[in-house]
Amino acid sequence: VKERGRNGMQMFRSEMADEARDKLGRIEELRRAIELEEFVVYYQPQTSVATGRITSVEALVRWQHPYHGLLAPDRFIPLAEETGLIVAIGEIVLRKACRQAMEWQRRGLPLRVAVNVSARQFLEATLVDQVASVLADTGLSAEWLELEITESLIMQDAKRAVERMHELKVLGMSLSIDDFGTGYSSLSTLKNFPISRLKIDRSFIREIPHDTSDMAITSAIVSLGRILGLEIVAEGVETNEQAEFLAQSGCDIFQGYLISRPLHAAGLDALFAAHSSS
């Protein structure tokens, strides 16, 4: 029994060593990906409910991996966040997105671009300087940039988050709260945030029109946004029924597969043509 136990323990140890080696390998790969800029940015359009026009896009990162193909963010963002490498990846995404927004403007397409900011990035002391220098380098005017910050991140330390938001606002960009409805903000904290938009979390949209409490919550979020003078974005809009309900509730902006999946910039051109003349 003792012998078996020892073998078991050795097995356990060697599995842990394998796992640690594997993780180190993955971190190394991520480092290399940053160096070689293997990240590509996809863009998902956001349309105005009132006009049907594309007003803005959300930048969503993917990793063009040399062996594994195009990787979705959930395959590498958690490790990037854990190791702090997200700060470098975030800068790559921000730079590419701002450059792309400039390119669209040159072609007569004035689109605001929304970029996700992770917890690690948001709390990093260098964030404001980083954003300022990307704007300066790319020549993009800050009014065309929006930063998305999740509600749960903000609520970790609301006081500090508000300070950071004000620092960013000085640069002239707009801020939105992502995944709203999952993070327990109160009306009184929300009112102090210098934000322009609330993005209703996709989990509330998914079961519309089958889940009546999700529908009630969605309507309540829209009313709350109205009271605070915010624009309301519904994300994950997949069906006409959802769109109809959300439009009736008073949502301002739609984002979701119903309009388009996230696409690389070139893939969006046809969509721009369809949505600008209408």
Instruction: Identify which range of 12-20, 71-79, 219-227, 243-251 contacts ligand C2E by CB under 6 A.
Output: 71-79
Alpha-carbon distances, residue 102 vs 38, 53, 160 (angstroms)? 21, 19, 32
- 77 binds ligand C2E, rule: CB under 6 A: yes
The answer to whether 124 contacts ligand C2E (rule: CB under 6 A) is: no
3-state SS class at 38:
coil
> Residues 6 or more apart from 191 whose CB is under 8 A from it?
228
- Do the bridges between strand 54-65 and strand 112-116 make them parallel or antiparallel, or are there none, so unpaired? parallel
Q: Which of 29, 178, 231, 252 binds ligand C2E (CB under 6 A)?
A: 178
Contact 233, 251 (CB under 8 A): yes
Check residue 72 for interaction with ligand C2E (CB under 6 A): yes
**Min CB(144)–ligand C2E separation in Å:** 17
45 touches which of ligand C2E, Ca ion, none (CB within 5 to 8 A by kind)? Answer: none
* Distances, alpha carbon 160 to alpha carbons 145, 193, 219, in Å: 22, 11, 30
Minimum CB separation from Ca ion for residue 182, in Å?
8
Distance (Å, rounded) from C-alpha 67 to C-alpha 82?
23
The listed partner (Ca ion, ligand C2E, none) that binds 231, CB under 5 to 8 Å by sort, is: none
Contacting positions for Ca ion (CB under 5 A) = 116, 148, 178-179
In the complex, the smallest distance separating the C-beta of residue 2 from Ca ion, rounded to whole angstroms, is 50
Q: Rank residues 44 and 185 by Cβ distance to ligand C2E and give the closer one.
A: 44
CA 268, CA 32: separation in Å to the nearest integer? Answer: 29
158/160 Cα distance (integer angstroms): 6
Please report the DSSP string for 213-234 in residue order.
HHHHHHHHHHHHHHHTT-EEEE
Stretch that binds ligand C2E, among 1-9, 128-136, 159-167, 251-259 (CB under 6 A): 251-259
Binding to ligand C2E, residues 179-198 (CB under 6 A): 179
Tell me how many residues contact ligand C2E (CB under 6 A): 23
* Residues near ligand C2E (CB under 6 A): 44, 60-61, 72-74, 77, 86, 90, 93, 116, 118, 178-179, 202, 235-238, 255-257, 262
